[in-house]
Amino acid sequence: MAVQLQQIDMNLFPVLDAIYATRNLTRAAERLHITQPAVSNALARLRRALDDQLFIRTPSGMSPTPLTENIMPRVQQALTLLGSSVTEHHRFEPASAQKTLRVSMNDMAETLVLPQLLEHLQQVAPGISVESFYVPRDQLAKELAANSLDFALDVPMVSATQLNQQRLVADRYQCMVRPDHPLAGEPSLTLDQYLELEHIHVSSRRSGPGLADIALNKLGRRRKIRLRVQHYRVAPLVVLKTDLALTVPVSLARQYPARCFELPFQIPQMDWHLLWHRSQDEDGAHKWLREQIISLFG
């Protein structure tokens, strides 16, 4: 059955977008500041108009149908463009803006960005709040498209063609030990010395190698892992209290009173990129905010 656009109430599409973003009728209602029955009614009207269930109720929430997945990128883009068109005549004024900036980043990115960013925002845009949380990489494009996330700081995502990306920094790795470590007085670190050390491995996964392990495997060598932790923030604190070593990006190592050695083997550097959805390119507030983040990295 062909659907005529003029037969559909355009007010229903923000409801569709809210359900898609939250996967829950009650949370969609809270997001739209309307009642849950109003959301249910709007969904029922859309189902009739589009002749599709749109969402199937499952134990984990409202799961979108193939039709919904197919139309949502264009619906979200249209809603964003409409919102930008309505507000584009209003110039963004940082000093008086009231906005929440939502950014996906891990604990190390938080360490690199948040202290400087908050210091800067307090001076030029005190009404802007920041929410930082981690979104799994395979969910980033969907969250950014749904406008439930403004930015992500992560590694490059080559396959995400709907996202724009700006390289912020290229971070090389060093080996970090406590300042009074038995090897601290050495002018450099040899590969044998590195392998004699006991190491901390940082990973959110329960098992699997890191970049250093992959590089060493290519050399036919293996390091000794004494501690495996989830977050980079805790690992340097352990280093400062023990003889354990940590292979860590330079930007994080600089923040601790530790002895750092150049690695005696080559591993790829860590590239941090700022990612955002292309539909936000011309939004005044979004453009200003990303310029502030990019400027922190020179």
CATH code of the domain in which 216 resides: 3.40.190.10
Is 150 found in the same domain as 25? no
Is 278 found in the same domain as 139? yes
Is 187 found in the same domain as 165? no
Last residue of a domain, one of 30, 61, 87: 87
What range does the domain containing 179 cover?
A: 173-268
| pLDDT at residue 219 is higher than 60 | yes
156 pLDDT band, cuts 50/70/90, is confident
Torsions phi, psi for 269 (to 5 deg):
-75, 160
CA separation for the pair 99, 129 (Å, rounded): 6
Percentage of the chain exceeding pLDDT 90? 54
CA separation for the pair 216, 233 (Å, rounded): 24
Model-level pTM greater than 0.85?
A: no
pLDDT of residue 1: 40
| pLDDT at residue 2 is higher than 60 | no
pLDDT of residue 90: 52
Torsions phi, psi for 5 (to 5 deg):
-60, -35
Is 279 found in the same domain as 231? no
- What mean pLDDT do residues 268-281 have? 89
CA atoms within 13 A on the CB side of 207: 0
pLDDT of residue 297: 83
State which amino acid sits at residue 268.
Answer: P
CATH code at 10?
Answer: 1.10.10.10
Is 260 found in the same domain as 278? no
pLDDT of residue 271: 87
- What mean pLDDT do residues 47-75 have? 90
Is 67 found in the same domain as 146? no
Is 223 found in the same domain as 199? yes
Q: Lowest mean pLDDT of 15-19, 78-82, 119-123, 146-150, name the range.
A: 78-82
Last residue of a domain, one of 42, 62, 87: 87
Report the chain's mean pLDDT, rounded to a whole number.
88
138 pLDDT band, cuts 50/70/90, is confident
pLDDT of residue 77: 83
H/E run at residue 243: none
How many domains is the chain built from?
A: 3
Is 219 found in the same domain as 177? yes
Is 140 found in the same domain as 118? yes
Last residue of a domain, one of 69, 87, 105: 87
pLDDT of residue 89: 43
Is 208 found in the same domain as 157? no
Is 177 found in the same domain as 29? no
| pLDDT at residue 88 is higher than 60 | no
83 pLDDT band, cuts 50/70/90, is low
pLDDT of residue 84: 62
Is 153 found in the same domain as 20? no
85 pLDDT band, cuts 50/70/90, is low
